[in-house]
Amino acid sequence: MGGGAALALGAGAAHALSEDWLTARGFRPGMPIEGEETTPVEYATAYNNFYEFGTDKDDPARYAHEMTVDPWTVDVAGEVAKPGKLGIEDLLANVDLEERVYRLRCVEAWSMVVPWIGFPVKTLLDRFEPTGAAKFVEFETLHRPDEMRGQRSFFSGIDWPYREALRLDEAYHPLAIFAVGMYGKVLPNQNGAPLRLVVPWKYGFKSIKSIVRIRLTRRRPSTTWNDLQPREYGFYANVNPTVDHPRWSQASERRLPSTLFSPNRIETRMFNGYEEVAPLYADMDLRRNY
Ligand code: MTE
């Protein structure tokens, strides 16, 4: 098919994001984090949390190909002047992509350094014109039990779909991004294709994968892990080495790759080292800010 015809077909369609799409779009390269090595891609794409595909770290890499990501639509509703349900390509039509190399700190005390490709959350939300009443933003993952074996499991205990939320001023912080790619390519399914959140100063569970629904709200939405175990997983979930998880310390973390013989333990930093977000929490008691 000629390039022109493909382009015409692409307009208005909800096709998956392909490598060709990313090559055509391009992205502004990011800076590596000084003094920290980027985690090898084979770890970042094989050691995952995506409970929709099972609870073992290798389940997502093994089973996430069963999820259909083409076509993909995202529904944006709630406190917005212009609600809409858009195909993923339309949603990203005028968005400039950039690379951001971020630390990712899981609440389970392991961490990685990942080069994401994405754009600020604000860029997307502004397009739908949040009203003055919008105070929070809620995100929802795809719910499709016939393609997501973890959603068929009676043992997961999770009330699907997976839901996460941010205060609107957190979402509008320039560090908060939506990612569509990593390591120079489009996101693999196990990492949350085709669209996921990345909030680097918060524990990884806030960075919800494979988003299909976004809703701006007046009240604080309920969220999956906070619902399941509020004593262990706070709504804010800011990385905080001084507040332990009830079952383990959060003072340090295992930086991947790590082995029994080379544990690679490093100290955890407040806000995962992204101290510039501190003003967002100026009126909160950080000893309880978990
Ligand atoms: N999003 C969904 N939909 N389902 C999940 O189980 N796990 C979260 C987060 N996003 C999860 C999710 C957790 S606990 C972490 S640590 C990160 O995804 C892991 O992201 P990664 O697998 O890309 O490293």
Burial-class residue 30 by CB neighbours within 10 Å (0-12, 13-18, 19+): middle
Q: Over 70-118, what HEC string results?
A: CCCEEEEEECECCCEEEEHHHHCCCCCCEEEEEEEECCCCEEEEEEEEE
For residue 9, the CA-to-ligand 1 centroid distance in Å is 33
Report the pLDDT value the prediction gives residue 14, as an integer from 0 to 100: 54
Report the pLDDT value the prediction gives residue 154, as an integer from 0 to 100: 79
For residue 80, the CA-to-ligand 1 centroid distance in Å is 27
- The residue whose C-alpha atom lies closest to atom 12 belonging to ligand 1 is 208
Which of 50, 198, 213 should be mutated for ligand 1, with most atoms under 8 A from CB? 50
Q: Are 101 and 37 within 8 A, CB to CB?
A: no
Report how far residue 30's alpha carbon sits from residue 159's, in angstroms, rounded to the nearest whole number: 37
- What atom in ligand 1 is closest to the CA of residue 150? 6
Whether 104 is in a domain gets the answer: yes
Confidence class for position 1, pLDDT limits 50, 70, 90: very low
Whether 84 is in a domain gets the answer: yes
Residue 221: pLDDT over 90: yes
Report the pLDDT value the prediction gives residue 15, as an integer from 0 to 100: 64
Q: Look-up: residue for tokens 């891609």?
A: 41
Find the mean pLDDT for residues 257-281. 95
Ligand 1 contact, 198 CB (< 6 A): no
- The residue whose C-alpha atom lies closest to atom 13 belonging to ligand 1 is 205
Whether 89 is in a domain gets the answer: yes
Whether 5 is in a domain gets the answer: no
Whether 6 is in a domain gets the answer: no
Q: Are 116 and 137 within 8 A, CB to CB?
A: no
Find the mean pLDDT for residues 117-145. 98
Distances, alpha carbon 186 to alpha carbons 8, 280, 289, in Å: 22, 31, 34
Share of the chain above pLDDT 90, in %: 89
Residue 11: pLDDT over 60: no
Report the pLDDT value the prediction gives residue 289, as an integer from 0 to 100: 60
Which is nearest to 18 in space by CA: 150, 231, 131, 187? 187
Residue 12: pLDDT over 70: no
Share of the chain above pLDDT 70, in %: 94
Ligand 1 contact, 51 CB (< 6 A): yes
Q: Tell me which residue range forms the domain holding 224.
A: 13-237
Ligand 1 contact, 208 CB (< 6 A): yes
* Structural domain count of the chain: 1
Q: Is the dihedral of CA 29, 35, 40, 41 positive or negative?
A: negative
Report the pLDDT value the prediction gives residue 141, as an integer from 0 to 100: 98
For residue 268, the CA-to-ligand 1 centroid distance in Å is 19
Q: What is the CATH number of the domain that holds 124?
A: 3.90.420.10
What is the chain's mean pLDDT, rounded? 93
How many angstroms separate the first and last alpha carbons of the chain?
Answer: 53
- The residue whose C-alpha atom lies closest to atom 11 belonging to ligand 1 is 50
Ligand 1 contact, 61 CB (< 6 A): no
Which is nearest to 114 in space by CA: 210, 227, 198, 231? 198
Report the pLDDT value the prediction gives residue 155, as an integer from 0 to 100: 75
Q: What is the DSSP letter of 252?
A: E
Q: How confident is the model over 46-60, as pLDDT tens digits?
A: 999 999 999 999 999
Number of neighbours of residue 122 by Cβ within 10 angstroms:
17
- The residue whose C-alpha atom lies closest to atom 5 belonging to ligand 1 is 50
- The residue whose C-alpha atom lies closest to atom 4 belonging to ligand 1 is 50
Q: How confident is the model over 79-107, as pLDDT tens digits?
A: 999 999 999 999 999 999 999 999 999 99
- What atom in ligand 1 is closest to the CA of residue 47? 22
Whether 47 is in a domain gets the answer: yes
Whether 263 is in a domain gets the answer: no
Whether 172 is in a domain gets the answer: yes
